[in-house]
Amino acid sequence: MAYNEDAVKAKLAALNETQEAIVTVAQWIMFHRRYAERTAQIWNQRITESPPPKRLNLIYLANEVVQQSKARKKIEFVAAFQPIIAEATAAAYKGASLDIQQKVRRVVDVWRQRQIFDPACQQDIENRINEIDRARGGTRKGGLGGSLFASSASSAPPEYQALITMQAALTKAEALSRPASEGAQAEWEKFNADSSYATATLPGKAGKLGGLLKILANAEGAVAETLKARKSLVEGLEKLLAKNKADLALEEQQLRDINSRKVDAESKKQEVEASILQGLVPLTNNGTSGSPDQDPPRPDAEPLTPPPVESITPVGSPKGLVSTKGADIIPEIPHNSEAEPVAPPFESLSQTAVLMDGPGNMNMTATGSNGALPGLAIHPREASPMESAPKRRKMSKSAEVQDEFADFQDGSGIDADVEAMLG
């Protein structure tokens, strides 16, 4: 399609908010870059005639054109849009909804970040938008987490809210002082360049000087307000800086303490591990073992072996009666069931004499305290016919026993009553 004004207006009228439509129109416009200045003028005219949603689409289109042109180092469209972009952006921002205003601010932030326009042009765009916000008396929140040239104090931490207020006051003062200062500078240069001042009458000179003084006084007041706001901001920043420096020193000390404790704990841990490897038990501060108490000693268990059986032989009996030798020969004596029990021929048997009368039979004769035998006897049982003749075993006396009772062999030394019993 050939380039003409009607074609450009048709393209802008058919523009919608989709990315595809914006890129298509932008490529067509950049193709006809030799008509960049005329295209920018038609675009600006379309901004003033369109409703707010269409204005946002035109802002998107201008953003695509100027960014792509600068990326390709084709400055025709940047130079064409720079004189009109501030007024057009303010027109698109004014009267729009909060959502559209945030989107416009987001585009302006991108221009600042990527330095699409000159700093003066960028500052002019931001000042115009701020003026609209102040005139409306409302607060706004910048896009992408807040604008770079203004912010809302409600979303900031408490320690920064005062600084944000000071920064807002400074921005407002700058917006008023900059035009006044520039106007005063221009009037001063104009006054010095006025050749008619030398030939003017005194009342005329007084009038010119009075007007110049009024302009200079206004500029002086505006600059003074800016200076005051900036000093307040610097003081607030210094206080915040001092507080952060103090906090920094405290945190550094805390870090050193923590590192020292960590090193101490690591050293103790290594000592404990070394003690474990060496089989040692470290002692605590109170001198007790840091390990759990050892098992108590086992109690003395009662042996399973039964106690020894008490000997039937009375205490004090001669050793020859209860001891036998493996070499002694025990003669076998035929069993006589009618034989009377015979008392042992010694006096030292004081309690009970025990004689083995065959296998399993035992004759027991008790003696009194005086050694006499009262005749109490336990007779052996009768042998059954089927049993073989029982064998009586007699303990052989050793030579020592025989020598001990040698004095009694002739019957001397025996009491009369014992001798009567023995017959």
Give me the helix-helix angle, 98-114 and 85-93, nearest 10°. 150
CB 32 within 8 Å of CB 39: yes
Extended beta strands in 321-382, E state: 332-334, 352-356, 362-366
| Burial readout 71-105 (b: 16 or more C-beta within 10 A, e: otherwise) | eeeeebbbebbbebbbebbbbbbbebeeebbbbbb
pLDDT at 272: 92
* Structure confidence at residue 368 (pLDDT): 45
Contact 100, 53 (CB under 8 A): yes
Rg (CA), the chain: 67
**Residue 114: C-alpha distances to residues 65, 108, 126, 235 (Å):** 14, 10, 15, 31
Q: How far apart are alpha carbons 203 and 187 in whole angstroms?
A: 19
So what's the pLDDT on residue 246? 93
Distance CA 67, CA 33 (A): 14
Residue 71, amino acid: A
Determine the Cα–Cα distance for residues 80 and 32; give it in Å rounded to an integer: 13
Alpha-carbon distance of 279 to 140, in angstroms, equals: 73
Task: For residue range 341-370, list pLDDT tens digits in order.
Answer: 555 554 444 444 444 444 444 444 444 444
Q: From start to end of 52-134, where are the E strands? A: none
Tokens standing for residue 14: 């058919």
Residues with Cβ within 8 Å of 272's Cβ and at least 6 positions away in sequence, in order, are: 282
Per-residue pLDDT, 358:
47
Long-range contacts, 318-325 (Cβ 8 Å, 24+)? 318/346, 318/348, 318/401, 318/404, 319/401, 320/395, 320/397, 320/398, 320/400, 320/401, 320/404, 321/395, 321/401, 324/395, 324/396, 325/398
CA distance 42 to 53: 18
Whether the CB-CB separation of 392 and 333 falls below 8 Å is answered with yes
Helix (H, G, I), strand (E, B) or coil at 333: strand
229: number of Cβ within 10 Å = 20
Of 143, 140, 155, the residue nearest 111 (C-alpha) = 143
DSSP assignment string, 126-187: HHHHHHHHHHHT-----STTS-SS---GGGS-HHHHHHHHHHHHHHHHHHHHHHHHHHHHHH
- Using 50 as the pLDDT threshold, list the residues of the chain that sit under it: 139-154, 282-285, 287, 321-323, 325-327, 346-380, 383, 385, 387
